[in-house]
Amino acid sequence: MTKPIIHVDNVHKSYLMGKEAVPALRGVSIEIQPGEFVCLMGPSGSGKTTLLNIIGGLDEPSRGHLTIEDENVVALSENKLARLRLEKLGFVFQNYNLLANFTAQENVEAPMVLKKTSRRERQQRSQELLERVGLGDRMHHYPSELSGGQQQRVAIARALANDPPILIADEMTGDLDSETGFAIMRLVKQLNEDGMTIVFVTHDPRMSEFATRVVHMQDGRILESAPV
Ligand SMILES: Nc1ncnc2c1ncn2[C@@H]1O[C@H](COP(=O)(O)OP(=O)(O)OP(=O)(O)O)[C@@H](O)[C@H]1O
Ligand SMILES: [Mg+2]
């Protein structure tokens, strides 16, 4: 067996609401191998987003360990964590999170600006990525001038900007009609076949069929983890 690219080890997470600690994760462990296509499912409030945010370094565990490609994420300084996120992880969110005052191309370039990629390379790569997601003719449109599915494809192109080994997606097809949702999943499947490790959340059993492993969560725990 190869080394896991993501290793979550007995992670707990509680949120403080006033004086009360609300448990969101109660001892989650999971190993994800390079090239896996993992789907997280489970009822609302079961901890799926919390787990994704922790894997993505957007939130910290209250207890437990997380390694990404052998780096101990919890122990990293702010700077090193920002670097790891920029280089190793791409994020896609349900509500796209595009910058409204930036064109599609400028949105895709944003993570490359953070990485100090040259202007010429940024322009070339953002164009290639937008063509890859089928938006070569929408590069100069603003998010408000794009449909939901088109905005989500811009968000995927943006997540790929720095060519990360891992893509993390939280209900990326939740707000889309099923035809558009399937088109997005086929695109992500292609990325997986090209070698990218994918971890995504969905409520839709039809979307979970794209995965190679479905992990079920309930009450902040992993219930079962089955190959598809
Ligand atoms: N920032 C927060 N502050 C307080 N409690 C939170 C916070 N984020 C999540 N929680 C709580 O943690 C638990 C897990 O939430 P989480 O968002 O991970 O669920 P989920 O499985 O993604 O649900 P959904 O399917 O509705 O998106 C819930 O009980 C929620 O109320
Ligand atoms: Mg959620």
Q: Supply the residue whose CA is at minimum distance from atom 3 of ligand 1.
A: 15
Of 52-61, 114-123, 126-135, 176-185, the range with the lowest mean pLDDT is 176-185
Distance CA 100, CA 146 (A): 11
Residues β-bridged to residue 41:
216
Distance 42 CA to ligand 2 centre (A): 10
Distance CA 200, CA 141 (A): 27
Q: Once rounded to an integer, what is the mean pLDDT over residues 130-136? A: 92
Q: Is the pTM of this model over 0.85?
A: yes
| Contact present, 39 and 216 (Cβ < 8 Å) | no
Q: Identify the structural domains of the chain with CATH numbers, from first to last.
A: 6-227 (3.40.50.300)
Residue 228 clears pLDDT 70, i.e. is over it = no
| Contact present, 93 and 172 (Cβ < 8 Å) | yes
- What was the pLDDT predicted at 36? 97
Q: Supply the residue whose CA is at minimum distance from atom 17 of ligand 1.
A: 49
Residue 153 clears pLDDT 90, i.e. is over it = yes
| Contact present, 174 and 78 (Cβ < 8 Å) | no
- What was the pLDDT predicted at 51? 97
Helix (H) or strand (E) holding 223: strand 221-227
The secondary structure of 126-153 as a DSSP string is HHHHHHHTT-TT-TT--GGGS-HHHHHH
Query: Which ligand 1 atom lies nearest to the CA of residue 43?
Result: 25
Tokens representing 192 are 């997986």
Distance 168 CA to ligand 1 centre (A): 17
The residues lining ligand 1, judged by C-beta closer than 6 Å to any ligand atom, are 15, 17, 22, 24, 42, 44-50
Distance 202 CA to ligand 2 centre (A): 9
- What was the pLDDT predicted at 83? 93
Tokens representing 105 are 């191309």
Tokens 């891992």 found at: 166
